[in-house]
Amino acid sequence: MAVEGTTGRVTKRRVRTRANLLEAAFAVFAAKGFGRVSIEEVCEAAGYSRGAFYSNFDSLDELFFALYGERAALIAEQVAGALALDGPDLDVPAAVDRVTEVLLLDHDWLLVKTDFLVHAARIPALAQTLLEHRERLRRAVADRLARATGHTELPAVLGDTEGAAHAVIAAYDGVTTQLLLDRDVEHARAWLKQLLTALLTDGHDNPAAHSGG
C-alpha cells in the first residue's frame, strides 16, 4: 500500500510538472517566437531544472508537439461536436454557425504554430509529423461530411468528402493568417462563416449571396 501511494504521488507530481512546463513554454514561445527560445528559458519560466525538462521531453520540438496535440484535440472536438448535432442530414448553414462560434481562434497560439510551421518546413521529419497532427482535424471534418453523404449534397466542384475537408481546412488556415495580422477575432469568425457557407453550399444558402452583400 505504501508503495502504491508513493507511486501515485510521483505520478501526480510528474503530470503537474509536465503541465507547468507546457504552460510556461507556450507563454515564452508566444512572447519571443519559437526558434528564439532555449530550454533554459522554458525551465526558468516554469521554475524547474533542466533535469525536470528532460524527464518529460527530449527537445523543444517534442514539447511543441505535445502543445500541438492538445490544441489539435481541442479543435477536433469542437468541430466534431458542432457537426454532430444534425443527425445524418447536415444543415450546412446551421452547422457552420456552430463551428465558427466555438472554434478556437487564439492569437498567441497562432503565432506559436506559425513559427513552428516555418521551422518544421525545413526539416522533412518534423514536417511529416506536423502533417500527421494536422490530419486529425481534417479527418474529423471528412468523417462528418461522409456521414451526411446521401442526405446532404455538397458542391460537385469539391469532388468527394476528402476534397471538401481539405477545402474547409484551407479556409480556416487563410482566415487565421489574416487574424495573425489584424487581431480582429470577431471579423475572423464572421469571415470564416461566410467562407465556409459559400464553400459548402455554392453560396445558395448564404443570405448575403441573395442580398448582394
Please list the pLDDT of the chain residue by residue as tens digits (213 residues): 333 343 455 588 889 999 999 999 999 999 999 889 999 999 999 999 999 999 999 999 999 989 888 887 787 777 777 776 666 667 778 888 888 887 768 889 899 989 989 998 999 999 998 888 888 778 877 887 777 666 567 777 777 888 888 888 888 889 999 999 999 999 999 999 988 888 887 644 444 433 333
For the chain, first and last CA: distance in Å? 69
Taking the alpha carbons of 22, 24, 27, 31 in that order, is the dihedral positive or negative? negative
> For residues 134 and 23, what is the distance between their CA atoms, to the nearest angstrom?
21
Mind giving me the DSSP string for 90-139? --HHHHHHHHHHHS---HHHHHHHHHHHHHHHTSHHHHHHHHHHHHHHHH
